[in-house]
Chain A
């Protein structure tokens, strides 16, 4: 999880006007259904939980299954009335947790 995700969030937004958040996380999203060359099952390793909040208030959350393509991409929308720090957080099957913070100013 050392690789930074591609993240698109505006730093300045208008109060009450929806804006788009886009994120592309580098992750193999190994399904757990595949077998290797000698027939052994390749263990599942997916990002199963993704959450986005601002100052503790939920914006959006997703529970992902193996049917989400490798390097998961999510585009969703948020609407703020007050400035704050957006927290984006996700966890994979190895328990690896990663997060990004973005300060958003409402003008």
Chain B
């Protein structure tokens, strides 16, 4: 084997997946743990993430509340999950007494094409969800 081709192959091997991927059922189980068994209802929370992603290493993600939220509803938490990453959890935001507009932006890694789920928890215990199916053409080097 020529030295250069060996180096290329070794590099490729280093980036090969270890085979570990979260499953949609894992995300469902995590969501159920938050809601206390009930499925989260679609609505109230809005997940903004591009449907077509070129580079999974850094993907802009914004969670906010929709217009269907009653004025007296108090947001306490937003959880974000990704069912195709090595681990399903992405981030958990907690909103305190001094929180302003219920909107958070960050940047995430997406290992492959997958469904991203946001779950918003309100002070009255109700849980609402939004999902986006994302097509990733160049995956994050998670593995």
Contact = CB atoms under 8 A, between A and B. Distances in A.
A18 B91 contact: no
Given A58-B96, A68-B109, 4 more contacts: A69-B106, A74-B106, A75-B104, A79-B100
Interface stretch (B37-45, B82-90, B118-126): B82-90
A80 B99 CA distance: 9
A1 interface: no
B85 A73 contact: no
A102 interface: no
A63 interface: yes
Given A60-B94, A68-B106, A18 B143 contact: no
Given A18-B100, A57-B98, A76-B99, A66 B105 contact: no
Interface residues of A, number: 35
A58 B142 contact: no
A64 interface: yes
B94 A58 contact: yes
A34 interface: yes
Contacts of B109: 31, 66-69
B132 interface: no
Interface of B: 10-11, 13-14, 18, 20, 57-59, 82, 85-87, 89-110, 140-143
Contacts of B98: 53-54, 57-59, 78-80
A6 B85 CA distance: 28
A68 B140 CA distance: 11
Given A31-B109, A34-B141, A75-B105, A65 B96 contact: no
Contacts of A70: 57-58
Contacts of A80: 98
Contact of A33 (B97, B101, B142): B142
